[in-house]
Amino acid sequence: MGEGVEWALHSCVNLAWIGPERAVPAARLAAWHDLPAAYLNKQLQALARAGILTSTPGQRGGFRLARPLAEISLMDVVVAVEGSAEAFRCAEIRNQGPGRGPTVDNGPECAVAHAMGRAELAWRRALAEQNLDDIRREAERQAPQAPVRLRTWFAGLTAT
C-alpha cells in the first residue's frame, strides 16, 4: 500500500478538526505534515472523485469532507487512493517449469492463491468495519491537544 493512503487518512481527520465551514487548499493540508503539495493534491482529488471529499475551485477553494467521518470507512479511503484491484494476483506458476505437463494435476485452485485470497478478504473486512471517526477518537485519545494545535496553526495562516 502506498504512502498516499496514510496521507489521505490523516488529511480527512485534519479536515474534520479544522471544521466544515471552510475549504482547505491541498498546499495547506500538505504543509501541516511537510508533504509535497502536488502529490497530496492527487490523493485528495481521488477522495473527491470517490465522494469522500468535495473540491471547490478558485481563490478560496480547497477540500472539505463530503460526509461525516463515521460514514467513511478505512476501506473507502484505500479503494479511492489505491483502486479496487486485488492485492495478490496468482500467475499460476505451479503450472510452469518441469513440474507441469499433461499428466500433472495441480488441482482446480492454487493453494497459495486460496490462502492469499482469504487473507485479503479478512483485511478488507477489517478496514470496512473501521471508520474515520474511530481513527479521530483514537488520535484525540493519544494526543488530546492535536485538534487545537491544528486549528490554531491553520487560523494563523488564514489571518495573514
From CA 128, how far away is CA 25, in angstroms rounded? 28
- Extract the C-alpha cell encoding 63: 477540500
pLDDT tens sequence across 86-111: 888 888 777 777 766 666 666 677 88
From CA 117, how far away is CA 35, in angstroms rounded? 34
Amino acid at 21: E
- Kindly list the structural domains of the chain, giving each domain's residue range(s) and its CATH number in brackets, ordered by start: 3-84+131-159 (1.10.10.10)
Amino acid at 64: R
Please report how many Cα atoms fall inside a 13 Å half-sphere around the Cα of residue 145, on the Cβ side: 2
Output the pTM of the full model: 0.86
From CA 66, how far away is CA 62, in angstroms rounded? 12
pLDDT tens sequence across 14-56: 999 999 888 999 999 999 999 999 999 999 999 999 999 999 9
Query: What integer pLDDT is reported at residue 22 of this predicted model?
Result: 85
From CA 149, how far away is CA 78, in angstroms rounded? 27
What is the average pLDDT score of the chain?
90
